[in-house]
């Protein structure tokens, strides 16, 4: 039995962690942390778990928590996880951080994009970027996981094989992403009201979204040299789902079969990445509620560009599911344990 604590359990990502973990027999959630709702019944905030969770919300006392569990998930605002970890904590429990605190190796880049002073830069080096499809072995032995952002997960998985194999010029990559509204969190903001989001689509954070340097760093590793991209997220009137449409110039003339072979090289053994059949586009509805990432591509000979597409559920592969995938690896379990849910449709 793996004992789990969740700090930030009342946000949407925290709720999804609880939902997914509660369906397992080998996991026990010992701590539903919530600074805002300490002392309140967890199921009063997530009535979907009524009669399933009877616990009350706890505070975020990491020291106390660390003594009771094997792994802590932090699904908290930027900066909080960094302020809670220290050597003692990391020697007691594994930490899987769903925030951005440990995703970016260059602390000055983090501080510039996030407008924060990093509270624990000494752990950035050892933190493992928790994208198992790329860093599986490192994840297995990590004490501290930087769980990838939702946009970076979907963006990276969509373009990675072609960048890695040099078929796309990384300097030409433009990523146009679309996200459901759960990504904006459960905080009460006018911009997130039903009537403001419904019947609307807009871009946001144009040229300034914080996931940009995260995507660039990972693509730079793949390309073997620094990569700068354009990244524009959009808010879509739906609860869940991220769709990425990425554009890049081909470095040489290629056939469908050649590109397909490159995707297959990287993904055919990956349980969670599904390379779709020819001319089938990724759609968020076909991954909703699951940890799958569906990817595909279309060569455009007129422009010598390639369109690379991917779809994930931002709450699962883009947050809680991927965090659990990392946990499974860290505890020596089959990677897809508790994550084989078939997407819910309609």
SS3 call for 56: strand
User: For residue 190, which phi and psi values (nearest 5 degrees)?
Assistant: -55, -40
C-alpha count within 13 angstroms, C-beta hemisphere, residue 268: 7
Tell the residue number behind the tokens 């090289």, with chain if given. 265
| Cβ 57 to its own copies shortest distance, Å | 15
**Is residue 243 a contact point for its own copies (CB under 8 A)?**
yes
Distance CA 271, CA 283 (A): 18
**Is residue 24 a contact point for its own copies (CB under 8 A)?**
no
What part of residues 254-293 is at the interface with its own copies (CB under 8 A)? 274, 276, 280-290
**Is residue 166 a contact point for its own copies (CB under 8 A)?**
no
C-alpha count within 13 angstroms, C-beta hemisphere, residue 28: 7
- Please choose, out of 54-62, 73-81, 115-123, 185-193, the segment that lies near its own copies by the rule CB under 8 A: 185-193
| Cβ 258 to its own copies shortest distance, Å | 17
Q: In this structure, are residues 320 and 326 in contact, taking their beta carbons and an 8 Å threshold?
A: no
| Cβ 146 to its own copies shortest distance, Å | 23
Q: In this structure, are residues 187 and 337 in contact, taking their beta carbons and an 8 Å threshold?
A: no
Largest CA distance in the chain: 62
Output 38 or 230, the one with its CB closest to its own copies.
Answer: 230
**Is residue 165 a contact point for its own copies (CB under 8 A)?**
no
For residue 208, CA distances in Å to 106, 114, 130, 212 come to: 17, 10, 23, 7
For its own copies (CB under 8 A), the number of binding residues is 83
Contact pick of 109, 116, 238, 333 for its own copies (by CB under 8 A): 238
Record the tokens describing residue 254, joined without a space.
Answer: 């290629």
187 secondary structure, DSSP code? S
Output 238 or 261, the one with its CB closest to its own copies.
Answer: 238
What part of residues 291-330 is at the interface with its own copies (CB under 8 A)? 294, 298-300, 302-303, 305, 307, 309, 311, 315
**Is residue 230 a contact point for its own copies (CB under 8 A)?**
yes
- Please choose, out of 54-62, 64-72, 234-242, 256-264, the segment that lies near its own copies by the rule CB under 8 A: 234-242
Catalytic residue set: 150
**Is residue 344 a contact point for its own copies (CB under 8 A)?**
yes
Helix-helix angle 211-223:150-164, to 10 degrees: 20
**Is residue 52 a contact point for its own copies (CB under 8 A)?**
yes
Distance CA 345, CA 332 (A): 32
Output 103 or 178, the one with its CB closest to its own copies.
Answer: 178
- Please choose, out of 97-105, 153-161, 204-212, 319-327, the segment that lies near its own copies by the rule CB under 8 A: 204-212
| Cβ 28 to its own copies shortest distance, Å | 15
Strands (E), 92-140: 94-97, 128-129
């Amino acid at each position: 039995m793996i004992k789990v604590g969740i700090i930030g359990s009342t946000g949407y990502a925290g709720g999804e962690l609880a939902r997914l973990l509660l369906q397992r027999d080998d996991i026990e959630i010992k701590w539903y942390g919530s600074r805002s709702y300490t002392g309140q019944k967890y199921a009063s905030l997530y009535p979907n778990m009524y009669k399933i969770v009877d616990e009350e919300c706890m505070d975020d006392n990491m020291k106390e928590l660390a003594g009771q569990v094997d792994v802590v998930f932090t699904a908290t605002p930027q900066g909080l996880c960094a302020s809670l970890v220290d050597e003692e904590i990391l020697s007691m429990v594994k930490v899987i951080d769903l925030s951005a605190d440990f995703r970016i190796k260059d602390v000055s880049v983090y501080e510039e994009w996030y407008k924060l002073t990093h509270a624990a830069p000494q752990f950035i080096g050892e933190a493992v970027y928790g994208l198992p499809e790329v860093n599986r072995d490192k994840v297995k032995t990590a004490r501290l996981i930087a769980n990838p952002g939702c946009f970076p997960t979907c963006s990276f998985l969509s373009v990675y094989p072609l960048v890695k194999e040099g078929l796309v010029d990384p300097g030409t990559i433009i990523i146009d992403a679309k996200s459901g509204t759960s990504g904006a969190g459960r905080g009460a903001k006018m911009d997130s009201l039903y009537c403001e989001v419904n019947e609307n689509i807009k871009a946001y954070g144009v040229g300034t979204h914080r996931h940009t340097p995260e995507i660039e760093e990972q693509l730079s590793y793949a390309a073997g040299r620094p990569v700068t991209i354009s990244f524009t997220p959009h808010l879509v009137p739906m609860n869940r789902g991220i769709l990425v449409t990425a554009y890049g110039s081909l470095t040489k003339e290629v056939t469908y079969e050649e590109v397909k072979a490159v995707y297959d090289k990287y993904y055919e053994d990956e349980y969670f990445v599904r390379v779709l059949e020819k001319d089938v586009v990724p759609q968020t509805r076909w991954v909703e509620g699951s940890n799958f990432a569906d990817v595909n591509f279309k060569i455009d000979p007129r422009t010598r560009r390639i369109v690379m597409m991917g779809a994930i559920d931002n709450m699962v592969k883009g947050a809680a599911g991927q965090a659990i995938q990392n946990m499974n690896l860290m505890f020596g379990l089959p990677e897809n344990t508790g994550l084989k849910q078939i997407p819910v449709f309609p």
